[in-house]
Homo-oligomer: A and B are copies of this chain.
Amino acid sequence: MRRLEVIALENLGEVQKGDSVGKLIYQACCQSRIALMQGDVLVAAHKIVSKAEGRIVRLAEVQPSARALELSRELHNKDARLVEVILSESRRIVRMGGGTLIVETRHGFICANAGVDLSNVGLGCVALLPREPDRSAREIRDKVGQLSGVMPGVIISDSFGRPWRLGTVDVAIGVSGVKPLKDDRGKNDRYGYELKASVTAVADELAAAAELVMGKRDEIPVVIIRGYGLESENGSAKELLRPEAEDLFRSS
């Protein structure tokens, strides 16, 4: 019977700058008596990766530019220092309104506030997204593989809002050992119809599944997904980015 397990990894502890997230995950697995298995996918909330990589900014140390001050006023007095941090993480603003700044990040993700987040990082501080989330995922994969003897798939996740639908869903911002898109185009259905539009963002669905046991208060920043038929191919979260030319909702 096809069955997936989504398992909360407990006992990870507080992550500090300089920590190896892969080592912490391995240790937490040992403490929880979880033996990683071939094909397991680890989903890690980006926040712990950002902390380990020192991607935390103290707002008191930020000097907002004139542009940030101007945008702050347009955004109902959103904290100008926060706006400054968001701008520094962005290639461009896609849209703004109602206190929200939708940008394209330097990685190419389109999301609110460039993923800069005030929660679960300490008062007066914000967390930035990892600089190269695929690399962060690969480092976790390599370290866990080295310590445990099993190479897991790794996904770094974040909670993104969406146009048209309320609520965030978690998506993959970095992957290693996971093919983020599953392409069924060209296969036939049971009636002989050739599937034409069936590309599934499985890395995003894995991230979404993990969120269901993570919760929003960082009690469980790492989740193990077991039983997903992981293919051995590698990939990059950049494969999930829709090219601008094919995007009907890109222009600002």
Contact = CB atoms under 8 A, between A and B. Distances in A.
Contact of A248 (B97, B228, B247): B97
A48 B240 CA distance: 29
A156 to B, nearest CB: 15
A122 interface: yes
B4 A201 contact: no
Interface string A207-220: 01101110111101
A191 B4 contact: no
Interface in A187-241: 187, 189-193, 195-202, 204-206, 208-209, 211-213, 215-218, 220, 228, 239-241
In this complex, which of A98, A102, A205 has the most chain B Cβ atoms within 10 angstroms of its Cβ? A205
Contacts of A131: none
Interface residues of A, number: 77
A170 B250 CA distance: 22
B118 A193 contact: yes
A15 interface: no
25 contacts: A1-B10, A3-B6, A4-B213, A5-B6, A98-B248, A118-B193, A119-B189, A120-B189, A121-B193, A123-B191, A164-B241, A165-B204, A166-B201, A167-B180, A167-B181, A167-B201, A168-B200, A168-B201, A169-B169, A169-B200, A169-B208, A189-B218, A202-B212, A205-B212, A209-B212
